[in-house]
Structure 1
């Protein structure tokens, strides 16, 4: 029993550490920005090297390790985040959680035979539909039996010479009509409420833009940092949409697209060079002539991510102070051709994130005012692996987001 308790505790710690440090780029059974982590210990037989890789992948690459360099090249030389703050025992807790989750997925206890959590959700949805249909069928059968019972009772009474009223037809029976009205009211009210709650949410919204701009080409293949274009993300509430001037910083010289083929979501091939020419029209730029930036006009991008007016969200608070990766809210943006809204951005989604996310206290002056938590972490009163969540510093208080 004691051994079971210890293993459970480690798995829970590993899950929290995985969610905090790894989940934005890795899944257990699915390739994301980085490789799927299932079987990672088998691929790294020397755990010392694996620890060194996780602590500082850039430094480890310099050792010339062939597996590490092949992995780096396989993922388009995307640099892995550095985790010098993680102790070896914390890394082992993450690996334990990965191993446990992978084995459960393989057995079908977490997400079906494919190990995909979405499969489990789909299964639950299918079961709900099945139960609903069975309930409807049984209700119809019950009503038919009630009508049959009424007719048989009338026949029995007639045979015995007992005078009884004629059975009321189903469509005139007030009891049946009242029951159907109540059922329709409950079902209609449920779907109306559900629709009202989801009203305005635009998860998977993917509008056509005036110019086909591929984040996969810019942020993925060419490794352009998000902050180069979205300059407000580190400084204020809005991430800001880049101006034509920022686009022209590169495309004054890059006037032809020579990369891999581009396709729309419908599978139509996109002429990358023609899209650059569209940019030139907005910029008022003629090739071979000096560019007069005063002739530029804004590109009318279609907004994708939008919160209600009564919700306060500050990008700098999350990205700079909270050190939250862009992919946490926007998905694998570096792999998207046409951008879509990855998360539902509902209040429940945000609140759950605040409940689970550990605040990055170390070397972060923004949180220096929380002296008690710093002292508790140093004294051991707070578990350093679990840390201080956003909820603990008031991240779920109503007035933090609604003002």
Structure 2
């Protein structure tokens, strides 16, 4: 009896140890929900659960390293905290992984505790099911159906009223035709024919003053029309062409808050704000291979559309997302230029973005108190962080630029302007005492022809 109890106790202990070891091996002793947060904060730059990004997919990584390398979670703890040290120790499996993934250095995470790593491993072993996302198409359909009912009713009413108006007009025409027929059958028609003017020359001779006046008015209107047409040649406000790769500034600059100068870096340091190279796009899209912002999709577009545009970036740069390496076969992207100054116009972005930044923002906000801006770029290009398709927001005519130079006050509080324009500042205070000697851009040469024209 004692022997049986002893054997039973040993069996229970063995089962407990087995379960404990199994739980440790499979990473299920952690908190998957907390692991998901830690995974998103630390791992998603290089890893995904179900596909290779920079590193391998991490779903089921605990079981995979056990099968491939015969190692357990203790090895994973060492690898995650300091894989470089683990490789230097001569660990065979660690060096195999390093060679397999093109000797790409993995970031060290000494800041993660053992509990944090267990939580991450629990998440990779049993990731929580994603919450069902709202279907934008369904919502749009419901909204459209709700809005369609009153719209259809209004349309029907307009059609009925239009048909009644046409019917009334036809009745009126028939009545007038009947009156004319009766008139033609009477003796009064002969008297009218005798007094009727029989040629255009007789009309002109009788009303030549009126005719000359009308001709003069028509000539003036025609001249004005031709002049107005000529003056607006090359002005394309509202122009928004389709691009070979769809790029939404609303998603990147608006939703994701990416700074304009991260992509258009030369706007701050050079004359031209260049179109960023595709390598700039790849800084992010090397790891962002699909569109997961289900909360925002432009009407008429779905996830498949956005994913397809990301694939165009890969095709242009020659990037193979499966192998995580460049093939060397790139394709140029023929972007359609939107803003293009004539060759005889000189415009320097850095002069406005750096030297004139605060002055331009202050001037714009003063003139537009209900539509203020926070970035100098928006003064000329409009609120580009709200545009899915970029369009020309202003006229960009000579008059438009001159008006800005006449109304934008130079910031005289910074050390350079205060010292450089000291004598001019004192002179203008005496010349314009009512304005307190305010200096606008035109006062420091902003209207000189040579400033903008070669």
Q: What is the TM-score when the length of structure 2 is the normalising length?
A: 0.47
Among 383, 405, 416, the alignment partner of 1:332 is 383
Q: What is the correspondence of 1:262-277 to structure 2 with a 5 Å cutoff?
A: 262-263=297-298, 267-270=299-302, 271-277=305-311
Q: What is the correspondence of 1:3-402 to structure 2 with a 5 Å cutoff?
A: 168-170=201-203, 175=209, 177-259=211-293, 260-263=295-298, 267-270=299-302, 271-292=305-326, 294-323=328-357, 324=360, 325-363=376-414, 365=416, 368-373=419-424, 387-402=438-453
Cα distance in 2 between the residues matched to 1:223 and 1:362: 30
Cα distance in 2 between the residues matched to 1:293 and 1:234: 33
Q: What is the Cα-based RMSD across aligned positions, in Å? A: 3.3
Cα distance in 1 between the residues matched to 2:421 and 2:311: 52
- Following superposition, the deviation at residue 282 of structure 1 comes to 0.9
- Following superposition, the deviation at residue 371 of structure 1 comes to 2.8
Structure 1 pair 358/291, CA: closer, same or farther in 2 (3 Å)? Answer: farther
Number of the residue aligned with 1:40:
none
Cα distance in 2 between the residues matched to 1:308 and 1:262: 37
Structure 1 pair 307/167, CA: closer, same or farther in 2 (3 Å)? Answer: closer
- Following superposition, the deviation at residue 397 of structure 1 comes to 1.5
- Tell me the SS of whatever aligns to 1:269: coil
Cα distance in 2 between the residues matched to 1:385 and 1:253: 56
Structure 1 or 2: more helix by fraction: 2
Structure 1 pair 384/196, CA: closer, same or farther in 2 (3 Å)? Answer: closer
- Following superposition, the deviation at residue 170 of structure 1 comes to 2.5
Cα distance in 2 between the residues matched to 1:297 and 1:365: 46
Cα distance in 2 between the residues matched to 1:248 and 1:382: 56
Query: 8 Å contact 1:376–1:382 — kept in the other structure?
Result: no
Cα distance in 1 between the residues matched to 2:382 and 2:208: 54
Structure 1 pair 386/226, CA: closer, same or farther in 2 (3 Å)? Answer: farther
Q: Which runs of 5+ in 2 are unaligned?
A: 1-190, 361-375
- Following superposition, the deviation at residue 378 of structure 1 comes to 11
Cα distance in 1 between the residues matched to 2:251 and 2:262: 15
Cα distance in 2 between the residues matched to 1:167 and 1:319: 66
Query: 8 Å contact 2:428–2:437 — kept in the other structure?
Result: no
Query: 8 Å contact 1:331–1:342 — kept in the other structure?
Result: yes
- Following superposition, the deviation at residue 387 of structure 1 comes to 3.6
Query: 8 Å contact 1:244–1:297 — kept in the other structure?
Result: no
Query: 8 Å contact 2:429–2:436 — kept in the other structure?
Result: no
Number of the residue aligned with 1:80:
none
Query: 8 Å contact 1:216–1:337 — kept in the other structure?
Result: yes
Q: What is the TM-score when the length of structure 1 is the normalising length?
A: 0.53
